[in-house]
Amino acid sequence: MLDESKKVSAKERGKRLRLIRKMSSLTLDELSSKYNLGISTIKYWECAKSQGLSSKGAKKIVTAMQNEGIQCSYMWLMYGVGLPPQFIDVRFHKGFQNEDCIEQDAYDEEKSIEHEVKFFCEKIIDAVTLTVFDDGMEPFYSAGDGVGGKRLYGSDLTKTVGKNCIIETAERQLLCRRIAQGNGIDNFNLYCINPNTLANPPHLYDVKLLSAAPISRVWKRMV
């Protein structure tokens, strides 16, 4: 059986896979038939069954998304590290209708953001970055946005109460949530601020944290 940290990791990979599939506007059937992937395999990846999305599978998905006009890195898809997915060219976005709109080179923009993220991590001690994977913190941060901050630990965690943070739970799950004090000085409540969020559960209570980083930097994905 998988240990708890691996289960969490598989679930997060599944969420990221669903996010980029929705960006591409491909259904499960379309992704399966167009790129010769078993539909049951894709379902297993998205639902984190067995071991979830494999390294080999992630490479296939990255290639498929590039063909769909979406720049998605292997490191982001597998580990949530680095830049969120971007449309390589706004013309690939199926919702893009205005032909008079000035075209933007999303790939170049991603490279620029990648440089910013690298600089942030090099200059900030205990820096942490995360790609938001749900709508729980809208309107501040949307799925696909990148956020960054400086980790706080131990007794300093009380300084994060009331702030939007990148949180690492005792189970090593990374979340973007607002923090409130729980029952006891070592327990914290984690809240979604979007009342209409699809995140389930929207709130977590009396959670023990390894670290929390008040969000000080946001990298918005081009829409």
pLDDT in tens, 144-155: 888 999 999 999
166-175 mean pLDDT: 92
Q: Tens of pLDDT along 190-202?
A: 999 999 999 889 9
Q: Tens of pLDDT along 99-155?
A: 444 344 455 666 777 778 888 888 889 999 998 988 999 999 988 888 999 999 999
C-alpha distances out from residue 177 to 64, 118, 161, 165, Å: 31, 23, 11, 6
Q: Tens of pLDDT along 207-221?
A: 999 999 999 988 876
- Domains of the chain in sequence order: 4-119 (1.10.260.40), 124-219 (2.10.109.10)
What is the distance between the alpha carbons of residues 175 and 167, in angstroms, rounded to a whole number? 5
User: Encoding tokens for residue 23?
Assistant: 């960006």
In contact, 170 and 210? CB cutoff 8 Å? yes
User: How confident is the model at residue 50, as a pLDDT?
Assistant: 79
